[in-house]
Structure 1
Amino acid sequence: MTSGEPVGRVGEIWLYPVKSLAGTQVAAADIGPDGLSGDRAWTVVAGDRPVRAKDAPVLATLAPADADAATLSAALGRPVRLEPLPPQPGTAPVHLVSRAAIARAAAGEIPEGCSAEDPRANLLLDLDGDERTWVGRDLRVGDAVLRISRTPRHCLGVYADVVTPGAVRTGDRVALI
């Protein structure tokens, strides 16, 4: 196992069990081939169409623990249901954002359509450097290895694919390999 060049630590870990709903901070998570276990596993559907927070901002205020059809329907004022989120081809399974990126956003450097207050990242990192320079590189985070695939158009940070699944915990070392 290559330890790599240390670049920081995992500051926070977030899961978003239902797409577009608020997240849940956790102390540890397993990263599998499709991302963090339990992340974005469900979606809210009205009729035959998914409902997103950009169209129904109230979704982003609801906790996943409150995610049942009756509560969601009442909040949206129309009948909705929860369905398993189908595979999302072309979507990177892990979203990483540094506290420095949030600081840059607070100073005005923010992509159009992005929320600096809620970057919706899985891993919030305390780093020495800028994660945007890692595209194409592999990163060891806890026991997992991630390949940084791209910078998002409408979000802070970077997206990553899973090279080697593994556990990640708050405080784990982050290293370029």
Structure 2
Amino acid sequence: MTETSVGSVSSVLRFPVKSMLGENVAAATVSQRGVDGDRAYALIDEETNKVISVKRPRRWGRIFELSAATKSDGPVEVTFPGGEAMAIDDPALPDRLSAFFGRRVSVAATPPPDATFDEAWERDLKDGADPYFGLPSRDEEGDELIDAGAFMSGQGNFFNFGAVHLVTTATTKRLSEAAPDSRFDARRFRPNIVIDTDEVGFVETGWQGHTLAIGDVRLLVTFTVPRCVMTTLAQGDLPADRDVLRTITAENSVDVFSTGTAYPCVGVYGEVVTGGDVRVGDAVTLIS
């Protein structure tokens, strides 16, 4: 067994409501479920019973105008663009959200049975790649859509795939070098942990199958993360930029599912082997 220092934690992020902007925290507890409080809630489209995701931006892109944060003395709060904040358990919140989106929505803490969400398949930004696993697509309201998120209800949470999502500064630096006019801030990718490293290139892709030690936590790196239209959208102070996904496709397309089709990838997922606390500044060690 070899232990190699690969960097340190520069950011810990939590997204209490799926597809809303989240919060930077100094430390977080990690359990088998992932970062405590992460993707704890989602919004549900009452008409379709689907989980609302920014991955269908033509319909749900405004969700990136909302942010969610976990208050130390109370429940998660949702903040609207004008600064109005409402508790996640406020009975008036669904009506306020419905007015905001112009569609009836509700708040859920567990996925509906057989839950999915709509994802706009940006074929032109993915070098013409077909949807994952041969999923069928449909044309609706000017978008090519797939039903994604099939793993959510089986896991009982609102994660797309893995419990913990990590991105390194080596990856964002490499992408910035390839497209200097674009802003490859790690926040575009909505990871839980950002690792500051002196390594070069898409280093975390090579960690698949190995274990990371971060503070008390041990994570088995499972697979690299396919990216979608979400990375191109404006969020916070980051501008909309379709070249973000186009650049990822050109620089780091990976046959992540061993199906013969390569997809643009950034970051990795980690399966929690040992839980504990993760803090900004924690050393990150690769065990191989």
TM-score, normalising length: structure 1:
0.88
1:17–1:3: structure 2 CA closer, same or farther, 3 Å change rule?
Answer: farther
Relative contact order, CA 8 A, sep 6+: which one is greater? 1
Q: Which residue of 1 aligns with 2:22?
A: 23
Query: What is the Cα-based RMSD across aligned positions, in Å?
Result: 2.3
1:3–1:145: structure 2 CA closer, same or farther, 3 Å change rule?
Answer: farther
Is 1:50 aligned with 2:51?
A: yes
Larger proportion of helix: 2
Q: Which residue of 1 aligns with 2:260?
A: none
Question: Of the candidates 80, 90, 104, which is equivalent to residue 79 of structure 1?
Answer: 104
Is 1:125 aligned with 2:195?
A: yes
Deviation of 1:107 (Å): 3.6
What's the secondary structure of 2:273's corresponding residue? strand
Deviation of 1:102 (Å): 1.6
- Which structure 1 residue ranges, 4+ long, deviate > 3 Å from structure 2? 114-117
Deviation of 1:132 (Å): 1.2
Letter in 2 for 1:170: V
Mean CA deviation greater in 77-86 or 164-173: 77-86
Structure 1 segments unaligned to the other structure (5+ residues)? none
Q: Which residue of 1 aligns with 2:95?
A: 70
Cα distance in structure 1, aligned partners of 2:50 and 2:188: 24
Deviation per residue, 1:53-99 (Å, 9 max, x gap): 12211112211132532342232112211101337348210000011
Deviation per residue, 1:108-164 (Å, 9 max, x gap): 48xxxx996611000011013211110000000111000000001115211110000
Cα distance in structure 2, aligned partners of 1:117 and 1:33: 24
Largest Rg, 1 or 2:
2
Percent identical among aligned pairs is 35
Deviation of 1:3 (Å): 9.6
What's the secondary structure of 1:70's corresponding residue? helix
Structure 2 segments unaligned to the other structure (5+ residues)? 69-76, 79-87, 112-150, 228-264
Cα distance in structure 1, aligned partners of 2:173 and 2:61: 24
